[in-house]
Amino acid sequence: MQNNNLNQNDSFREWGKNPSSVSDEQWQSLIRSNPDKKKIMQTKHQIRSWAVMAMLILGEAIVVGGCGQRGGNRDDVRAVNDTLARDSSTFEPKPKSGIDGALLANERSMWKYDKTKSVFVKASGDASAPYQVNLRAMPKGTKIGFAEGMATLAFSYSINKRLYELADELGFEVVYCDNNNRSDQAIACAELIAQQKPDFVLESNWQSGAAAAVMKVFDDAGIPVVTIDVVHPNAVFLGADNYVSGLIAGQAAAEHAKSKGRCDDVSILVGINPSEGEAANERLTGFIDGVQTVCGVLSADRIYEELINAGTTDQALTVATDWLTAHPDAGFVLATTIDDARSVGISQALTQSDREGVAVGIGCDEIGIAATRVSVEKNNFLGSVAYYPEKYPDYAISLAADILEGKAIPQEVHLSHKFLGINQINYDYPAK
């Protein structure tokens, strides 16, 4: 008969004798009575691992020595073998096809802008090859419209800063408006910019629900558009390789868990925001897949989604804290969101709640860079997958020049990415 009031030492001995003898309810009782919850959860994980090793040794002895030569529970051995088979099963990542803004290389077409109809039309050429940036001086008097995503966001600021540098270098005028990450403001900005008759627009509306209304303004005005990270009708998509960047983030997080022997104790938390579009949310699909390529297939009850739609660290901190409170048995948490600001919020929640796990940022803007410079042991932020937002304007202005010169361009242009942790960040972003 099991004792539901096992103390810590008794529990440890019991696990060593028979790993199946201590129930989850008993562990929960021990955790609640121990003030150092983080330590006791680590101990639980270690004891499970020791028990598995003992069972494997026992199972091997049965096979080698012959039936009946060593004692042991064959059901326990089979259960461990089943667990190991499940944990070591390979997971093959497979991005979805047919998603605008996340088209596979063989699904993309070349486009040309038809000025007479104010539409992009298919053109001949290979759209699967990486786009080559070719910056050059613009004709005198060229106006470039820029509807900024959200001026107070670090990622957006990096784009803004580089665009104005290029304006000085290449001789074009910027017609500016801040969308402030709001649908109504994005439409108002489109109208304001269109009234000033720019030759081309770089649109950073991140509210997919406003995409059609925004583009109607520019289509009616006959202005070609390149959009950043969110698909708009009749506009060239410029942005992340969403699935791949998420895959990289997930693999980095899982390698960290694996290095600590925690793959069998992982839970995934992703902060979703459907309003930013299906393509952007492929980052989260990639993250989930990336974790499983390293740690093996996870059951559905170890993968969680929470809505984090304000685009702020504060909201992410609140949502993640509530989630952690509601899931005390989540184990080693691996988390991400659509960007750095929200991922930092989750890492703060992990730290403040004294929970195990890490968050990985996506974007590597100033917020992500600053968090990456701090040891993960102090802030639970492992690093960020670099999107290099400061490079977006180079691609956009090169595309603008091609479009205005009547050249064919890919309907989607995706940037390359890599994970930057504390040991890599200063190579790409030297400390000032």
pLDDT tens-digit profile, the chain (432 residues): 344 444 444 444 444 444 444 454 554 455 445 544 444 444 444 443 333 333 333 333 323 333 333 333 434 333 433 343 344 468 889 899 999 999 999 999 999 999 999 999 999 999 999 999 999 999 999 999 999 999 998 889 999 999 999 999 999 999 999 999 999 999 999 999 999 999 999 999 999 999 999 999 999 999 999 999 999 999 999 999 999 999 999 999 999 999 999 999 999 999 999 988 888 899 999 999 999 999 999 999 999 999 999 889 999 999 999 999 999 999 999 999 999 999 999 999 999 999 999 999 999 999 999 999 999 999 999 999 999 999 999 999 999 999 999 999 999 999 999 999 999 999 999 987
The predicted pLDDT at position 50 comes to: 38
Whether 423 contacts 401, CB under 8 Å: no
Q: What is the DSSP letter of 375?
A: -
The predicted pLDDT at position 89 comes to: 60
Whether 409 contacts 226, CB under 8 Å: no
Distance of alpha carbon 242 from alpha carbon 339, whole angstroms: 11
Token couple for 246: 């998420």
Q: Phi, psi at residue 176, to the nearest 5°?
A: -115, 145
Q: Give the residue extent of every domain in the chain.
A: 8-86, 108-240+391-414, 242-386
Q: What's the topology of domain 242-386?
A: Rossmann fold (3.40.50)
SS3 245: helix
> Which residues have CB under 8 Å from 274's CB, separation 6+?
281
SS3 60: helix
Q: Phi, psi at residue 215, to the nearest 5°?
A: -70, -30
Residue-wise burial string across 372-409, b where 16 or more C-beta atoms lie within 10 A, e elsewhere: beeebeebbbbbbbbbbbbbbbbbbbbbbbbbbeeebb
pLDDT digits (tens, 9 = 90+) for 279-301: 889 999 999 999 999 999 999 99
108-240+391-414 with 242-386: one CATH topology?
yes
Distance of alpha carbon 371 from alpha carbon 349, whole angstroms: 14
Distance of alpha carbon 383 from alpha carbon 423, whole angstroms: 10
Instruction: Please give the model's pTM, rounded to 2 decimal places.
Output: 0.72
Label the pairing between strands 266-272 and 412-414: unpaired
Distance of alpha carbon 110 from alpha carbon 413, whole angstroms: 11
* Tokens 């021990």 sit on residue: 30
CATH architecture, domain 108-240+391-414: 3-Layer(aba) Sandwich (3.40)
